[in-house]
A and B are shown apart, each in its own frame.
Chain A
C-alpha cells in the first residue's frame, strides 16, 4: 500500500447503531497513525494518536485499534448518536517528521 486509504467513503446509520471504519496505510517506516473527527467549518479534532502495533485506545463511545505489521487501523463507534455525524479522517506519519499523509475520510451521518 502506497497511500492512505479509508473505507467506506460514506456511511449512513441510525441512532443507536454501532459502526466501524477502516484505514489502510503503508507499513514501511511507520511512525504514528492519527484519527481525526472533522465537522464542517471547524478544525479537525484529534481523536487518537497510536504508535505501537496492537495499540487500542478509547475515548467515550469511540475506540480505535492499530496493526502496524499489516498496515491497518479500525475506528469503532458504539451506539452512534446524531452528534457523531462528521467526517472521520485518518493520517499516517512516516519517520519522525510531523507531516501527515491523509486518507479521503469516511463521512458518517447518524439519523434519528
Chain B
C-alpha cells in the first residue's frame, strides 16, 4: 500500500543551526503534503500545507521564515527549521493524501535543540 517515509527519525542540533527533515511519498504522487508538530501531552497541530511547485500555506502563528518548506517534486517535501532554538524541540510529522479519503503519515521526527 501507499507509504510515506520521513527522515531523520531523530536529530539533535545545536542552538542557532538549521536542520532539514524530509518527507517522501514512496509509491504515489502527492501534490500536497502536510506538516504537523506535537508538543508533550498535546495533539498533533497543523503547521503548514506544502504545495508542489508553489509556496507553502502556513497556519496562523507559524513563522514561515523559521520553518522553510520546499516541495520541489511530486514525491518530496522538506521542512527546514532555521536558527533552531530549544523551544523548537518537538515531534514533527508529515502526511500526504492518498487514494480515496485516506491520508498517510510518515514515522515522524524527534528534534532536540541543545
Contacts and interface: CB of A to CB of B under 8 A. Distances in A.
Interface in B56-114: 93, 95, 97, 100-108
Contacts of B45: 102
A36 B112 CA distance: 26
A97 B100 CA distance: 13
Interface stretch (A12-20, A41-49, A69-77): A41-49
A102 B107 CA distance: 17
A41 B44 contact: no
B103 A42 contact: no
Interface in A72-107: 89, 91, 93, 97-105
B8 to A, nearest CB: 13
Interface residues of A, number: 23
B41 A98 contact: no
Contact of B97 (A4, A41, A98, A102): A98
Interface residues of B, number: 25
Contact of B101 (A42, A51, A105): A51
Contact of B46 (A41, A44, A99, A103): A99
Contact of A49 (B100, B106, B108): B100
A32 interface: yes
Contacts of B36: 102
A100 B104 CA distance: 11
A49 B46 contact: no
B101 A104 contact: no
Given A98-B32, A98-B34, A98-B97, A103 B43 contact: yes
Interface of B: 3-4, 9, 32, 34, 36, 41-46, 49, 93, 95, 97, 100-108
Given A43-B108, A100-B46, 11 more contacts: A32-B101, A41-B107, A43-B104, A46-B104, A49-B101, A51-B101, A98-B34, A99-B34, A100-B44, A102-B43, A104-B42
Interface of A: 4, 32, 34, 36, 41-44, 46, 49, 51, 89, 91, 93, 97-105
